[in-house]
Amino acid sequence: MCKKSFLVLTAVLLACPPQLHAQNAAPAAPAANNNNKINDTEQPNRFWQANVGGGHYMVALGTITAISRHKYLLDGAIVVDEVTVDTTGQSLARFYFLSPVSDKLTGNGLGNTAARIVDRGREIIENKADDAGTDVHNMVVKKFPETTHAHCIEYRLLSAEELTGLYNSVRTAWESGHGRSFSIKKSSS
């Protein structure tokens, strides 16, 4: 009887091997960034936080349920490159970078002309915002009531490189279970 119980117990243990966490591959470290405006560091806590031009966001790693990065076309004129952080709470964090469709059309005469006009417009807006002492170019773009989202926290970033750094930071924190602090330094004009 004892021998039979031992064999059954051994079979069960062999069929259900324990997880060997030491054997799991370590999450990839964020790619080194060549942008001196981006700062991403590991923190001794279990929170991920982001300090970006539009404000500050902080979330407990254990409450993150999904992260994603995707692009879509808005009103046929603007490409939205977006990172979302979904949690068990009632809020969805959205971080995005906007670029005109004309940026995707470069290489032909019409696309190059449109891109130059858009770039000049951006430059004028940034200069006037700096003159007025506002952060308009960092602010989220909404058209009420079409873009009002309940339980949605939104932040606008100014480059695809910043968005990539942010995505790599939150992904690394979530996969590793170690806190991280991501920030973008304001440019000094």
User: Which tens digits make up the pLDDT trace of 128-163?
Assistant: 666 656 565 555 565 655 555 667 899 999 999 999
Mean pLDDT of the chain: 76
Structural tokens at position 9: 């117990």
Would the pTM count as exceeding 0.75? no
**CA neighbor of 42 nearest in space, from 175, 178, 174, 166:** 178
Q: DSSP for 2-51?
A: HHHHHHHHHHHHHHSPPP-GGGSPPPPPPPP---TTEEEEEESSSEEEEE
First and final C-alpha spacing in the chain? 83
Residue type, position 131, single letter: D
Q: How confident is the model at residue 57 (pLDDT cuts 50, 70, 90)?
A: very high
163: number of Cβ within 10 Å: 21
129, 137 contact by CB (below 8 A): yes
165-169 average pLDDT score? 98
Are 66 and 111 in contact by the 8 Å Cβ rule? The answer is no
Check residues 68 and 25 and name the one with the higher pLDDT: 68
CA distances from 137 to 32, 56, 73 (A): 26, 17, 20
Q: What is the pLDDT of residue 16?
A: 47
The answer to whether the beta carbons of residues 155 and 93 sit under 8 Å apart is: yes
With cut-offs at 50, 70 and 90, classify the pLDDT of residue 170.
very high
Q: With cut-offs at 50, 70 and 90, classify the pLDDT of residue 90.
A: confident
Query: Residues 106-118: what's their mean pLDDT?
Result: 57
**Contact assessment for residue 69 and residue 86, using Cβ atoms and an 8 Å cutoff:** no
pLDDT > 90? residue 181: yes
Share of the chain above pLDDT 70, in %: 54
What gap in Å lies between CA 128 and CA 32, rounded to an integer?
A: 33
| Upper half-sphere CA count for residue 55 (Cβ side, 13 Å) | 11
Decide if pLDDT at 86 tops 70: yes
- Amino acid present at 187: S
Whether the predicted pLDDT of 98 surpasses 60: yes
